[in-house]
Structure 1
């Protein structure tokens, strides 16, 4: 048979099969099975979206007093600027005393004075550089918190790369600082606080995650890995502490105006620290946007973005990876051009 005749014969067979489908019990079962899968998928997606809407519009989170009375203490790391400062202000406004932990003593003292004067609560400060991972710093912090009724811990201290950079070109000191601050700092502070929470059988631990840890992020590989570590650690810790009535939650964000992001102007996708923290403290336990236990994406546009990517693209898909890579390649190019312009001015 000639090739053209063979092609025509196959085409006739296919057309005949389509005209006669379903022509057997097996074909009908397959058709019904595919239809059922489609219905279940649509139902599941619809239910997931309705749940997202409910957490954004109707269902609020737990009040902070669920985790400890007013007058108990909150420990906030990275408290001198940005999100950490805003967490300190808003938690103090709700009647909690605060322990402010960060690197710069002068900024901590200024914030402590502002909080004491404005909200009439007690404050304590501990100036320490988390990048050094110094045992003596943690010993001083332990002395401050060991005899306090700490009901809230906000693990906010964090560091990213100065600019997006290939891992092979990452400065060794920058790499060490990211791991010491994001990982060692978070774990060591938490280990100081949780024994008291376990004894009192109550408490709240908020740990700042990132979309950079949710999605593998080329050119931010070390930072991305450190935040992914916190995702797994926080979820596992939450399961361990649940019998003690301690709520552990990883807080995810896209971009927020801050010194770390180097973004000054807010927008629908990029809130300022005040609005982001307000969303966080107002949605504890709501699990906005996220499908993982113990995870919350509090700001509404971030939650919608998180839900859409998980539902339609996939966190680990090649599409998400390539888009993320292209985004950070462009940022790196702009940052390098800016460095060149500044170098020429000197």
Structure 2
């Protein structure tokens, strides 16, 4: 897949489809004076994402767009929330073999994230993910150079695991 096709795919899936869905549902919610919109971002929107720059930037758009809508629509009785999770076990994360404190099943994640609806407008959806993002932001505030190095090493490891998992899946 070419770079341009990949970039356009991220824009279509993560940005265009979200904007269109919001435009579809918000008018009815405004008429009813109530509703909930949950837009799915990613923790990669909240920290630098080396090797995933376009993905992270597209999810940062989701976060920024949703935060702005939250401010616009709160007074109309509509909750707009961004959920920015870290890793969740799903078909899209074949490199995660089992659940841990930072990597949980989709079912556990959804249960946790739904508990934040109407409480906060922006969340990772799961407290250990909040801790992880907060820690990385603190490290970056203290030493941008070290944080950059650590994030690059971490994402290089993730990339290797993804590649191995997808090669294994293709062989099956």
Q: State the TM-score, normalizing by the size of structure 1.
A: 0.45
Query: CA 1:305–1:326 in 2, change beyond 3 Å: closer, same or farther?
Result: same
State how far apart, in whole Å, the 2-side matches of 1:173 and 1:212 are: 21
Q: How many angstroms does 1:173 deviate by?
A: 1.9
| Partner residue, 1:273 | 106
2:123 to 293, 296, 304: 296
**Structure showing greater relative contact order (alpha-carbon pairs closer than 8 Å, 6 or more residues apart):** 2
- Number of equivalenced pairs: 171
Tell me what 2:16 maps to: 184
TM-aligned CA deviation for residue 270 of structure 1: 0.4
Is 1:259 the counterpart of 2:91 in the alignment? yes
Distance 1:174 1:189 in 2: 22
**CA apart distance, 1:309:** 3.1
Once superposed, what is the RMSD of the aligned Cα atoms?
A: 2.8
Task: Give 3-state SS (helix, strand or coil) of 1:179's partner.
Answer: helix
TM-score by length of 2: 0.85
Q: CA offset at residue 225 of structure 1?
A: 0.8
Offset of 1:179 from its aligned partner? 0.9
1:329 maps to what in 2?
A: 156
Listed as ranges, the gaps of 5+ residues in structure 2 are none
Q: Give the Cα separation in 2 of the matches to 1:341 and 1:204.
A: 39
Shift of 1:232: 0.7
In the alignment, is residue 198 of structure 1 matched against residue 25 of structure 2? no
Structure 1, gaps ≥5 residues long:
1-168, 288-293
Q: 1:333 Cα shift?
A: 3.9
Q: Shift of the alpha carbon at 1:316?
A: 9.6
Q: Which has the larger radius of gyration?
A: 1
Aligned twin of 1:211:
43
In the superposition, relative to structure 1, how do residues 321 and 296 fare at CA in structure 2: closer, same or farther (>3 Å)? same
Do the aligned partners of 2:15 and 2:62 also contact (CA within 8 Å) in 1?
A: yes
Match of 2:74 among 239, 242, 249: 242
Distance of aligned partners of 1:212 and 1:241 in 2 relative to their CA distance in 1, 3 Å threshold = same
Question: Aligned pair in 2 of structure 1 residues 332, 286: CA closer, same or farther (>3 Å)?
Answer: same
Are the aligned partners of 2:89 and 2:104 in contact in 1 as well (CA < 8 Å)? Answer: yes
Whether contact under 8 Å (2:47, 2:133) holds in the other structure is no
Give 1:138-149 correspondences, 5 Å limit: none
